[in-house]
Structure 1
Amino acid sequence: SCLVCSSSSSKNSNNGGDANGLLKEEEEEKFNDIWLLFKEAQQNILYLNKLRLVAVEELNKANREKQLLLDKIQQLEAVNKLGNEQSLWRELLLRIDSMVLTGLIDSAEASGMRKAVMGNKFSVALVFFDIRQKTDAELLAQLRHFSDGSRKNGFHIIQICTEMEPLVSVGSLSSYVTGLSKALQKKGHIVEVILPKYACLDLTEMQGLREIEAELYSYFNGQLHGNRIWTGIVHGIGVTLIQPLYYSSFFDRERVYGYSDDFERFTYFSRASLDYIAKSGKQPDVLHIHNWETAIVGPLFWDIFVKQGLGGTRVLLTCHGFDSQCLEQPDKLALCGLDPARLHRPDRLQDHTMTHLVNILKGGLVYSNKVVMVQSIYSKERIINSFSHGLEPTLAIHKDKLLISPCGFDNSIWDPSKDKFLPKNYSADDLKGKSICKVALQQQLGLSKNSSTV
């Protein structure tokens, strides 16, 4: 009996020990599980905190980008608003021209309206914001209520030319006309451009293109001939296009230059431009003409048009070189209404070498108030003596009115401060990099450092 009890007691004791061991193991497992859960929770919390920090940073970044975008939008809206305002008052000037040509108003009233618009151009947008929805008659009623008390600021300049970027571009003249017009307008001057309506014109960037509902008649070859007049805005510049009707083939061609009748073509255009200016009642301060193609404007202006309300206008001729001059028979001057006998003289249009012919570019030099030679290398004396192509006697006589203009560039097309292909960038404010670029170019061309060619 005692043995049985002892044995039973021993078993119970062992069972109790096993139970305690199991209990301890279970507690340890629970503790380990809890610890693992705690560590996982800590890791999750750390991960969530990391995600929160990333999210906050992303949110801050998005807010910064949003603010930058809003600032950019405001800048673009300001630029767009300014551009729209500038286009609006220039388009308004073209509509006034239309009213004169259609007989709604006379030249005197048109002149007063132009002064009103040019003197109040920044308030024009508030008054004439719906200009394109109005007919000329409706617009006229509104214009007559518009104050004309302010004076005109700056000069009124009309460029009569054969190229303008981006409408038609053959050489450097096109970018020169556009760049100069934009620069002058930034300084507060009013600039208009008159061009032939070539068949090859690229009109994709012209805004508000419209045909004036009246034919302009211009003189040529003993008769008056009708022309269609088109107006529009290019880069904020008012542009007028002249389209001949009877002589429609003059500009309905693939090329701009290089035809046997180029003299007739551009003489017709030059005369039609002056007829348009006179009939529309414009009184520009400056007529800006270019190369031989519109040089005939000089003699035409002083012999015929100066007494047609243009007494305050002066003529400026720009030449991109004297190598192209256009020599013609004197009798051809009569095509546009000029007197050959009056102009075929040594001090006027007679060519110095081929004295039986007239020199059209020479006529522009003689009859212009100022002559600008676009040249970036040579001095005035060097040009007259070495690069005048037979015009040396004329240039020597008119030396005082000859100006040399350096070749410029439009930094919206090319900017040396941003060009990644230059060895060193530079700008008007910091020219240090320019000398480095010069040395690099000299080395590339094999020139000495002291060379003045570059």
Structure 2
Amino acid sequence: MELLLNAPLSKLPPLPKICATKRKPLGARLPSCLGVERHDDMDVHKDLPQSMDHEPKEKQNDIWQLFTEAQQNILYLNKQRLTALEELDELKRENTALLDRIEQLEAKMLLNTEKEMDTLSISSELLLRIDSMVLSGMIDNAEASDLRRLVMNSRMSIAANLFQNTHKKDSELLVELRHFSSKSKKKGFHIVHISAEMAPVVSVGSLASYVTGLSCALQRKGHVVEVILPKYACLNLDEVQGLREVEAEVYSFFNGQLHKNRIWTGVVFGIGVTFIQPVYYSAFFSHERVYGYGNDFERFTYFSRASLDYLVKSGKKPDIVHIHNWETSIVGPLFWDVFVNQGLEGTRILLTCQGFDSQCLQRPEKLALCGLDPSRLHRPDRLQDNNKTHMVNILKGGVVYSNKVIVIASMQTKAHLITELGHGMEPTLAIHKDKLLIAPYGFDKSVWDPSVDKFLPESYSEEDMKGKSVCKISLQKHLGLTKNASMILKCCNSRLVAC
């Protein structure tokens, strides 16, 4: 060990000189083995700069450029990502605000719907649901009558209590009705129209608007009104609320057999409406028009009989059955000869005629189609036509078998109506004059007199016309017209009928 420490160091060779100003990067040095001779080691390091000089500078520039572009792309994508996240957050905020607005509008709509859901619509729907309960065998006729009386006598309170329950099934609604047992002190009439028309569901002439207008007016006065219509193929169902088919079989008699009918119910302007759709005789009401076919007598006789069968089947006991024109006049003889003793002893028949020009004359044997006895009815005091005695007159049967007859006419006296407007029915009208009532159209001079009309801004008369110009200007202002007393103004007060 001492010999090694005291041995003299051999002289190291001098390091090669490197110019400081022209030095080029050599890259990483290659490791050298200690056993390699000095001259070989110098040769290796001497050759490295020469190999690097052969790499083109363009390649280095390309690599640097690619690196720069990649870095820029990363920065751009990151910026786009941040922008997209900000937009997504903004969309989320807008979506949340929109959902909140929708909830507010739905709550407001629900509140408005509850306010607009008037008492009459709810009462009508409840009555129709009671019909469904009877037809399905859920309740008997006695309980149905009690429930109908409950609805009719307690409209306001029952609407407030059962508004949230009308969407329930019949069985659930029945429980609620049974719980609601209080009765109103005042009782209105229960009126059922059996009609061929009702505006706007099916409208051909003045009958449609008359049925709808009268029904709404009577219901506003506290009466409960329903309408039974054929289910025509040409119905306008846009204004029918809650249209549904009753899941029960209702049969009616026609041509010696019982035939099945489909029953539909809905509400129109607060009025309960029932649609009767024949199954076997489906062609009766599948036409494009309401009237004007060779089998009109058979069509409307079937409907009239089916309507009465439906009343009995559903357990209804209306105070008044209101029929219209010849199309449903056969209800009168059917009611008193067939149905009065089937729970309808307290019901009365009211006929409205839009005129006596359309009466429907038929052979007597056709009465048997609906279950009537031709031999009993083909008599002068019943349905036999006054002029063509071999025929029966359907409208005459309605007049004879109704308790009251309303005639829609201009301002005519009853005597003038009988003698001048009877169209061959003058003897019958004279016999039954005590049951005739005139429903006038036009205007009554005793009421619409400008000299005494308190609703005019100024009165005037034929002798003193000073106030007329004031009334004209007031009318122009009310209608949004140019105010000019000297301008000619024509007014017309009339019903509108589609051509």
TM-score interval, normalised by the smaller of the two chains:
0.7 to 0.9
Residue identity matched to 2:262 = R
Report the equivalent of 2:212: 178
Q: 1:375 aligns with which of 405, 409, 427?
A: 409
1:50-129 to 2 correspondences below 5 Å: 81=115, 83-129=117-163
Cα deviation, residue 127, structure 1:
2.2
Unaligned 5+ runs, structure 2: 1-107, 463-467, 473-487, 491-499
Shift of residue 164, structure 1, vs aligned partner: 0.4
Q: How far, CA to CA, are the matches of 2:208 and 2:146 in structure 1?
A: 32
SS in 2 for 1:114: helix
CA drift at 1:143 = 1.3
The equivalences for 1:33-432 within 5 A come to 81=115, 83-151=117-185, 153-407=187-441, 429-430=455-456
| Structure 1 counterpart SS, 2:303 | helix
Q: Is the 8 A contact 2:166 2:173 kept in 1?
A: no
User: Aligned partner of 2:289: which letter?
Assistant: R
Q: CA deviation at 1:163?
A: 0.4
Q: Report the more deviating stretch, 81-90 or 363-372.
A: 81-90
For 1:247, the aligned partner's letter is Y
For 1:323, give the aligned amino acid: D
Aligned length: 352
Residues 64-107 of structure 1, C-alpha deviation per residue, up to 9 Å, x if partnerless?
Answer: xxxxxxxxxx9xx8997364332112100100001011111111
Question: Offset at 1:244?
Answer: 0.4
Q: Quickly say closer, same or farther: Cα 1:385–1:78, change in 2 above 3 A.
A: farther
1:149 positional shift:
3.5
CA RMSD in angstroms comes to 2.7
1:92–1:131: 8 Å Cα contact kept in structure 2?
no
Amino acid at match of 1:304: V
Counterparts in 2 of 1:427 and 1:329: CA distance versus 1, 3 Å = farther
Deviation at 1:150, TM superposition (A): 3.3
Contact persistence 2:154–2:183 (CA under 8 A): no
Structure 1 gap segments, 5+ residues each: 1-73, 410-416, 418-423, 446-454
Contact 2:249/2:261 (8 A) holds in 1? yes
In 2: Cα distance, 1:316 partner to 1:80 partner: 36
| SS of structure 1 residue aligned to 2:356 | coil
Alpha-carbon distance change, 165 to 427 in structure 1, aligned in 2, over 3 angstroms: farther
Q: Relative to structure 1, is the Cα distance of residues 78 and 187 closer, same or farther in structure 2, using a 3 angstrom cutoff?
A: farther
2:263 counterpart SS class: strand
Q: Does the CA contact (< 8 Å) of 1:83 and 1:236 recur in 2?
A: no
- The verdict on how the C-alpha distance between 1:341 and 1:117 changes in structure 2, with shifts beyond 3 A counting, is same
Check conservation: 2:194, 2:227, Cα contact below 8 A: yes
Distance 1:199 1:213 in 2: 20
Q: Secondary structure of 1:259's match? A: coil
Are 2:129 and 2:170, in contact at CA under 8 Å, matched by a contact in 1? Answer: yes
Percent identity of paired positions between Structure 1 and Structure 2: 66
Cα 1:397–1:208 shift into 2, 3 Å = same
Residues 427 and 312 (structure 1 numbering): CA distance in 2 closer, same or farther, change over 3 Å? farther
TM-score normalised over the length of structure 1: 0.73
Q: CA deviation at 1:215?
A: 1.7
Whether the 8 Å contact between 1:115 and 1:148 is mirrored in structure 2 is no
- Is the Cα contact below 8 Å between 2:152 and 2:188 reproduced in 1? no
For residue 125 of structure 1, report the CA deviation from its aligned partner. Answer: 2.5
Query: Hey, what's the Cα distance between the residues in 1 that align with 2:183 and 2:158?
Result: 14
Q: Retained in 1: the 8 A contact 2:124–2:272?
A: yes
Structure 1 residues 353 and 79, CA gap change in structure 2 (3 angstroms): farther
Offset, 1:383: 1.2
